[in-house]
Amino acid sequence: MKLNVLKDYPLSGLTTFKIGGAARFYIKAESPGGVCESVELAKRHGIPFYVLGGGSNLLVSDRGYDGLVVHIANTESDTATDGENVYKTCGAGVVWDSFVSECVGENLFGVECLSGIPGTVGASPVQNIGAYGQSVESLIHEVVAVDTADGNTVRFSNAQCNFSYRKSLFNSEAFGKYIIISVKFALKRVGKPSVRYHDLEKYFLKDTDVTLQEIRTAVLKIREHKGMLQMDGYRGFKCAGSFFKNPVVSGGHFDEIAGVLNVAAPNRNWYWPQSDAEVKVSAAFLIDNCFGKGFRKGRVGLAPNHTLAIVNYDDATFSEVIDFAKLIEDTVYERFKVTLDREIQILQ
């Protein structure tokens, strides 16, 4: 296979932040074989490489990347069924929301609340993406990846992916070791649309007799209102969606946070008790109490309707975004003693 290697390729246009310099080398890999050959080429010449999907969770340095960017673009798909389940296998380069739209159109249950999430299918198991009460950990049947050490193809069952909140094998202990080339999802023909999340309950006034398409439409409208949608025809911002993860704290720490906020915890939808005496706290709620929605500093700021999104308002630089993020992190820690972990990846 002949690889088309491009030099000094601009990366800003490949990210939703629209920030960053150029890659020293760039290859668009449109097949699993192209992925393997790209990695082999980089290793043969001693060049560092980075695997790029939809660029929706990435902030690139203004200096760019002094290595090879392998842009995953394989979009082969397949559907099979065993009667109860429908199995859809998608190439890592498939646009995530196109996959969701297809499933909703076929009346398959399980991904309707994940509408509007930017990026590609290949990123979904890495971050264990989730929204509005659903996450991919309950849907993924198998992940196929390339081992960057030897170029062999490896298959991972759901259990082997080690899923937890916004975490998996692929972004923790095995970070950088595997390149995902396809994901197999198990979806249900029969089910009930998920209206468990507060925003959806509010949207439907707790009327759960709704269709999958109505759920998808509602999620897209909610995400658009928050400025978290990166789709043509909708209002959006130059950002990477949620910049921070929701922190999980001990029960005692949660009581301290509630005391600082001076709120009656049961009356506010800003926390979610976990099964092991811990509490997941809304990072957006903490940030909102420190700064308020739409807070700006120069060319960078928070989205006007959602404080988890840091927005490039006017051709901001990489350093400006990082400095702004640090201001958010330091202020939240100073007030609540909560460390905010970044959800985005940084390439520099």
Active site residue 166: yes
User: Exposed, middle or buried, 44 (CB in 10 Å: 0-12/13-18/19+)?
Assistant: exposed
Active site residue 164: no
Active site residue 268: no
Which residues are paired to 139 by β-bridges?
A: none
CB atoms within 10 A of CB 264: 8
Which residues are paired to 183 by β-bridges?
A: 90, 143
- Report d(CA 145, CA 153) in Å as an integer: 6
CB atoms within 10 A of CB 249: 20
Both tokens of residue 134?
A: 């659903």
For residues 311 and 303, is the Cβ–Cβ distance under 8 A? yes
Handedness of CA 41, 53, 232, 112 (dihedral sign): positive
User: Exposed, middle or buried, 293 (CB in 10 Å: 0-12/13-18/19+)?
Assistant: middle
The CA-atom distances, in angstroms, between 112 and each of 14, 197, 207, 318 are: 26, 13, 16, 34
User: Exposed, middle or buried, 263 (CB in 10 Å: 0-12/13-18/19+)?
Assistant: middle
Q: Which among 289, 336, 326, 295 has a CA at the least distance from the CA of 313? A: 295
**Catalytic residue (one of 182, 223, 242, 329):** 242
Q: Which among 165, 118, 159 has a CA at the least distance from the CA of 140? A: 159
For residues 57 and 240, is the Cβ–Cβ distance under 8 A? yes
**Catalytic residue (one of 166, 296, 299, 342):** 166
For residues 156 and 143, is the Cβ–Cβ distance under 8 A? yes
- Report d(CA 272, CA 6) in Å as an integer: 47
Active site residues: 166, 242, 343
